[in-house]
Amino acid sequence: MIQKESGHWRSFPANRLGTGRSVGERFPALRVNLLDRYIFRSVLLTCLGSVALFAFVLMLGNAIRDLLGYLLRGQLSLETAGELILLLLPFVVSYALPMGILTGVLLVLGRISADSEITAMRANGISLLRVARPVLLLGVLGCAVTLYVNFQSMPWARVEYDKRLTEYVRADPARFIVPKTFIRDFPGYVVYVGEKQATVLRDFWLWQLDGEGRALNMIHAESGRIDYDKEQNSFSVTLTRASVESRKKGAPGDMREPPQIPTVEKTEPPFVLSLDRILGRPTIRQKLQWMTYGELQAELGRRELRPINAAYEPKQKAQDVMQVRLVFQDKLTTAFAVLSFALIGVPLGVRVSRRETTAGLGIATLLALGYYFLTIMVGWLSRHPEYRPDLLYWVPNLIFLALAVRLFRRLERQ
């Protein structure tokens, strides 16, 4: 910059004004806004990546547990499985958000601290609490998002997931009979089918087992037919030209006596194979965890107004009411954990001062495991409402906040 002074021109550095102060010193708000945007953008992008990573891991685990068996048996198409997996997203996001934001804060603050950017900020008079303001804003936004997910999005998605999965599987239960495969899903039976065309079976084998898993009876039929009984949730199997080999009850391995092998033209009545283990019974009562805010409030009011009588004691009523309150507080504290994790991540990231991703992921995982272990311990008191476990659910968050405050103070004194 060129400025005329005392009849001649004098040059000044381009980043300085006539007052001799830098742009940042002349306009501190501009410097602070740039710093806020820099930290907020860095933490936000890293948190989104971390949340996506944890959500993918949790979603994959749920998909393998719930859907892999159906996919391998050909009972679900890839398109249907994809729709169901998307419905799992709100469910896993409620758990991935706290862990993701903690990981993001640790990674970003650890990196800029290792690059001495935190030291430069503090040398310019910017306190650590001031540096943490964008992180606090991000924590508040994450807390609001988690509240919506926990009380609205996740309950709807989870109920819809169970509903669609049941509908898809029950639409054609005959797909559970897979040819050339030993099927052990029917309680007390092992089934093998050589060929299947719709509901018609060929080369049908059935072994009836005792309590120790030993074969008591063996049935072989040239052909058969299966019919699905929706009310009983079972298969009715009618066999033609079947031979039945019976073993001695209590000692099926005793071969001293020849087994009896009668032959029947048609089995009457049909064999009944229960599908309760495979399909389960339709849930009549919705789980508390899958209720929205309004549904939880209505359920709490219903349980509080339920009259006490000889069959319904005060202790049982207190436990029933506490179960609803625990679910309500669990959803609240999980959302607030996003803010707690964001705050504790700032001083921890500064103290660790590491660029490596593995260090941040390791610390975040340990802290998250510690938090969830404490909440599980509180959940063990659900049958003791006199200890107010609904209020104790806030203890892990308070511990994390107290630890964050202490770490902030120690760093400010350094």
Domain boundary among 239, 274, 309: 274
- The answer to whether residue 141 scores a pLDDT higher than 50 is yes
* Structure confidence at residue 250 (pLDDT): 58
pTM: 0.71
**Residue indicated by tokens 């988690």:** 146
Q: Please check whether residues 240 and 324 belong to one and the same domain.
A: no
Nearest to 199 by CA among 226, 181, 172, 178: 226
- The answer to whether residue 268 scores a pLDDT higher than 50 is yes
Mean of the pLDDT values across residues 313-322? 89
Length in residues, the chain: 414
**pLDDT tens for each residue of 374-412:** 888 888 888 888 889 989 999 999 999 998 888 888 887
**Residue indicated by tokens 């089918």:** 193
Domain boundary among 254, 274, 294: 274
Q: Please check whether residues 218 and 69 belong to one and the same domain.
A: no
Q: Please check whether residues 27 and 144 belong to one and the same domain.
A: yes
pLDDT category of residue 182 using cuts at 50, 70 and 90: confident
**Does residue 97 lie in a domain region?**
yes
The structure tokens listed for 197 are 């065309």
Judge if the upstream peptide bond of residue 269 is cis by omega within 30 degrees of 0: yes
Mind spelling out the 3-state secondary structure of 285-353? CCCHHHCCHHHHHHHHHHHHHCCCECCECHHHHHHHHHHHHHHHHHHHHHHHHHHHHHHHHHHHHHHHC
- The answer to whether residue 339 scores a pLDDT higher than 80 is yes
Nearest to 53 by CA among 117, 2, 97, 86: 97
The whole-chain average pLDDT of the chain stands at 80
CB 157 within 8 A of CB 89: yes
- The CA-CA-CA angle for residues 393, 397, 399, to 5°, reads 110
**Does residue 49 lie in a domain region?**
yes
- The answer to whether residue 236 scores a pLDDT higher than 60 is yes
| Domain range for 197 | 187-274
**Does residue 14 lie in a domain region?**
no
Q: Please check whether residues 33 and 89 belong to one and the same domain.
A: yes
**Does residue 181 lie in a domain region?**
no
Mean of the pLDDT values across residues 318-344? 91
* Structure confidence at residue 32 (pLDDT): 56
* Structure confidence at residue 16 (pLDDT): 40
Helix, coil or strand: residue 13: coil
Mean of the pLDDT values across residues 90-105? 88
Mean of the pLDDT values across residues 212-240? 81
* Structure confidence at residue 337 (pLDDT): 92
* Structure confidence at residue 233 (pLDDT): 76
Mean of the pLDDT values across residues 272-285? 64
* Percent of the chain at pLDDT exceeding 70: 82
* Structure confidence at residue 328 (pLDDT): 92
* Structure confidence at residue 329 (pLDDT): 93
Query: What is the number of structural domains in the chain?
Result: 2
**Does residue 161 lie in a domain region?**
yes
CB 339 within 8 A of CB 400: no
**pLDDT tens for each residue of 52-93:** 998 998 888 888 888 887 787 667 778 888 888 888 888 888
**Does residue 208 lie in a domain region?**
yes
**Does residue 201 lie in a domain region?**
yes
* Structure confidence at residue 12 (pLDDT): 38
Q: Please check whether residues 371 and 266 belong to one and the same domain.
A: no
Domain boundary among 228, 255, 274: 274
Q: Please check whether residues 147 and 195 belong to one and the same domain.
A: no
* Percent of the chain at pLDDT exceeding 90: 18
**pLDDT tens for each residue of 10-47:** 443 444 434 444 444 554 444 557 888 888 898 999 99
Nearest to 299 by CA among 283, 285, 309: 285
**Does residue 111 lie in a domain region?**
yes
**Alpha carbons 390 and 402: distance in angstroms, whole number:** 20
Q: Please check whether residues 161 and 305 belong to one and the same domain.
A: yes
Which one has a higher pLDDT value, 371 or 5? 371
Helix, coil or strand: residue 125: coil
* Structure confidence at residue 148 (pLDDT): 94
